[in-house]
Amino acid sequence: MKQKTRETIPIQEAMDNLAAISTIDLSAPGPIGILKKTKIVTDEEECLSQEVEWLSGEGSEAILEVLDLTYGAIHDHLVRLLENNEMDWKNDRSVQAIAAMMALVGESAERLGKYLEFRLGKPIDKIALRPEYRALSEFYKDRFLEKIKSKEPHEATEGISDMEAVRSDRDYELFYIRHEDGAPYFNLDLLRHMRLVSDFESEGENFEEDPLLQVRSMMDRDTHASASQILHACRRQMDDFYKIFRKISTNDLALALSSAITALFLSANPRNLLSNTTGKTALSYFEDFHSFLRAGFKTPEYQKMIAYPPEKTDTMAYVLLNLIHALSDRFFHRNGGVKQESIGLIHRTSRRGTEKTSEKKGVGIWNQFLIEDENYRTLLAKFPSGPLLKIIDLVRAEESVTVPFDPIAQNNFPVAQFSAISRGREFSFLRIPSPTKQTLISKVEIVDEFRGLLRFYHMQNKGQKHLLINLQDRSSWKEFARAKALEAMQKNAEFNAVLVVFTLPKSTDFYFQTGQYLNVNSASDFFASFLKQLGSPEEFGYCLPPSFKPAELQRFAEDIFPLIHTYFFEKKSNLTRGAREDFIDIFNQFLLLKLIDHFHPSSISFTCKDAIDTGAAESASFYAFLKLLKNEFKTKEEHDYFRWLLYAPSLFVRERAIDGERFNRMLSSLERLENGFIENSKEILRKFEELYNPELFKTLEIKN
């Protein structure tokens, strides 16, 4: 039966409206206007035109009526396509064009809804529930979606062949990184369709309940607090800088640093918080600070001073070097300002997830963590995929420029997480994603601000060094180049005194006890396999610092294996696969403590590609491990801090939950550790401390 065509606007005008909405910058929302009753405009000059009949701020009904006309026009266009016998459904371009158009439809509803809520200062009814949008989406699902789905290739390209990998966000870095010949790893045209399916398959939760809506404003407040912290910490270096600034005002490095400091002051100004402005936000100004800081490293003046170190009497040079390196140091050591808010959001998300399932309470803290995690994931699954939306934004950006995989520059900023004191020395645990920039799969560049951090350590001349636990898989084609670049950096003459890199395999068959290791249930055979790996570390995915020899690693393992086996596995002659996985993780914790004891670092990071899944799990796990060693992991504050370490990185950077497999495995090993400590705490400490400096355990103190 032929559907009656409604009176509406031309299809081209409808597409122009969708395109205009897609340009809205939600980080700094500008004006929107309506021209000639049905045309949506977002350009500031057009919005100032006398022909504008409506401007944002005058209520929402006028713009929503135009949006209804837009959806009606697209609906009628699809009807005509379906009735057109000449439509070639075997043509990839035709099918992908429809998918792309409908992806814009889904994006427009979400983007305009967020915009109106922000500009009007109050919630609005979800646009996806309006009759015109629902009619269009239902018609598309009923009549078009199967045709579109049937055109999906079984493989994208070399690199990722599983569409679920995009949804789960496992390999999103390959959207940025390209083959050596410049070809992409992903068929980017597929993404618009995936976005469409994500929109139309969502369960229609209330827009106001979406926990992801709070992420942007919390990031804004976090960087606002960070800017103040950096300014305070670098006050002495800035005072020295401005005393000589007039003399060097034409110096490119001085100009870049002046701009970076100005951006920090603007970010630290409460007037620029997202809640207080319609212009640039604190987060945007913090991004500017980072950009100007990087620009400073690229200036000829800085490059010359690094290549040819200035004389000690060259005051101007040392003022500039001290400032740029101090800013880098504080950038990595920033504390942020929304830890408690983040913990509150994590708790609320978990509680709302409980409303979607049956409310359960775990017996014991580890079971409680598991139940809360299930609730947390349940609620996040009800809303449009955050990772997918980020990839769609990337596709739009790549239309004009190739975007490298550069996590620190993509709002995945480093942060200080917690610290510990032992033998009178404090060492900080920093969350640092891979400090690299990568456009081609084989070409990796260490980012300048990380070099700046290490140069700051060197200039302080206090024996400071950074211990980077590299969790990237050096045996994987996806991560090999990044792992090798970091490992090679510690051998550089400039950095070998201030950087230690230890690569710990967390993705191999042995680590997951799969492949040839799947059925090695005998404890003695398992230990033999493990010792073989540690005896030839690079062959099995490890990379040791030059001053920590394989023989030393193997000797430590031979000494500690019997203790772990005795106190945490009751000397069982057979170990299940789960038990063997727990054994590996428990050994890794004691090994990391050995590295700290050996190298005396002033800062430590658990660095994977983005410090979101593997890195976050390792950081939270080591925090809990240290607390259990001190018999302290008992309070609500400690448990909440553990939750923050686990969930905040993935929520704020990728708008999703931490990888479930990493989470579950970490909890299993920690539960086994706690059970062992409950049974034999004093005896365990007495036996294990023989393998470390005697004062390490006695003086160890952990600070949030």
**For residues 615 and 606, is the Cβ–Cβ distance under 8 A?**
yes
Among residues 308, 290, 285, 299, the alpha carbon closest in space to that of 254 is found at 299
As a whole number of angstroms, the longest Cα–Cα distance in the chain is: 89
Query: H-type helices in 32-128, by residue range?
Result: 44-47, 61-83, 92-120
Question: In terms of pLDDT, which residue wins out, 640 or 18?
Answer: 640
pLDDT for residue 356 is more than 80: no
Sheet containing 466-470: give its strands across: 499-503, 466-470, 603-607, 425-431, 415-422, 701-703
pLDDT, tens digit, 9 for 90 and up, residues 567-625: 999 999 999 999 999 999 999 999 999 999 999 999 999 999 999 999 999 999 999 99
pLDDT, tens digit, 9 for 90 and up, residues 258-309: 999 999 999 999 999 999 988 899 999 999 999 999 999 999 999 999 999 9
First-to-final CA distance of the chain = 67
pLDDT for residue 662 is more than 90: yes
pLDDT, tens digit, 9 for 90 and up, residues 550-564: 999 999 999 999 999
Rounded to an integer, what distance in angstroms lies between the CA atom of residue 445 and that of residue 557?
A: 34
Phi-psi category of residue 42: left, alpha or beta, with phi > 0 → left and psi -120 to 50 → alpha: alpha
Question: In terms of pLDDT, which residue wins out, 202 or 652?
Answer: 652
**What does the block give as tokens for 78?**
């699809």
- Predicted confidence at residue 187, as pLDDT, reads 59
Phi, psi dihedrals of residue 479, rounded to the nearest 5°: -120, -5
Question: In terms of pLDDT, which residue wins out, 469 or 39?
Answer: 469
Among residues 253, 155, 133, the alpha carbon closest in space to that of 204 is found at 133
Q: How confident is the model at residue 1 (pLDDT cuts 50, 70, 90)?
A: very low
- Predicted confidence at residue 62, as pLDDT, reads 84
pLDDT for residue 665 is more than 50: yes
Q: How confident is the model at residue 637 (pLDDT cuts 50, 70, 90)?
A: very high
Beta pairing class for 33-35 and 466-470: unpaired
86 exposure class (CB count in 10 Å sphere: 0-12, 13-18, 19+): exposed
**For residues 582 and 668, is the Cβ–Cβ distance under 8 A?**
yes
List, in sequence order, every beta strand (DSSP E) within 291-340: none
Question: In terms of pLDDT, which residue wins out, 233 or 47?
Answer: 233
Among residues 614, 660, 657, the alpha carbon closest in space to that of 211 is found at 657
Kindly write down the DSSP assignment for every residue of 86-112, as one continuous string.
T--TT-HHHHHHHHHHHHHHHHHHHHH
From 141-150, 586-595, 629-638, the region with the lowest mean pLDDT: 141-150
pLDDT for residue 13 is more than 60: yes
pLDDT for residue 384 is more than 60: no
pLDDT for residue 530 is more than 50: yes
Question: Region 247-259: what's the mean pLDDT?
Answer: 94
Question: Region 412-433: what's the mean pLDDT?
Answer: 96
Among residues 565, 555, 548, 525, the alpha carbon closest in space to that of 687 is found at 565
Question: 583 CB contacts (<8 Å, ≥6 apart)?
Answer: 526, 564, 565, 568, 569, 575
The rounded mean pLDDT for the chain is 86
Q: How confident is the model at residue 701 (pLDDT cuts 50, 70, 90)?
A: very high
Question: In terms of pLDDT, which residue wins out, 231 or 43?
Answer: 231
233 exposure class (CB count in 10 Å sphere: 0-12, 13-18, 19+): middle
Among residues 511, 600, 591, 513, the alpha carbon closest in space to that of 555 is found at 591
Any idea which residue has 């550069």 for tokens?
A: 406
pLDDT, tens digit, 9 for 90 and up, residues 65-75: 889 999 999 99
pLDDT for residue 2 is more than 60: no
From 62-66, 198-202, 224-228, the region with the lowest mean pLDDT: 198-202
CA dihedral (256, 258, 260, 262) in degrees, to 10, reads -150
pLDDT for residue 213 is more than 50: yes
**What does the block give as tokens for 326?**
């101090």
Question: Region 224-250: what's the mean pLDDT?
Answer: 96
Rounded to an integer, what distance in angstroms lies between the CA atom of residue 539 and that of residue 573?
A: 28
Rounded to an integer, what distance in angstroms lies between the CA atom of residue 545 and that of residue 539?
A: 15
pLDDT for residue 505 is more than 80: yes
pLDDT, tens digit, 9 for 90 and up, residues 86-114: 566 665 556 666 776 787 788 788 888 88
Q: CA-CA distances (angstroms) from residue 555 to 161, 184, 425?
A: 43, 45, 27
pLDDT more than 70, % of the chain: 84
Instruction: Look at residue 404 and give its three-state secondary structure.
Output: coil
pLDDT for residue 4 is more than 50: no
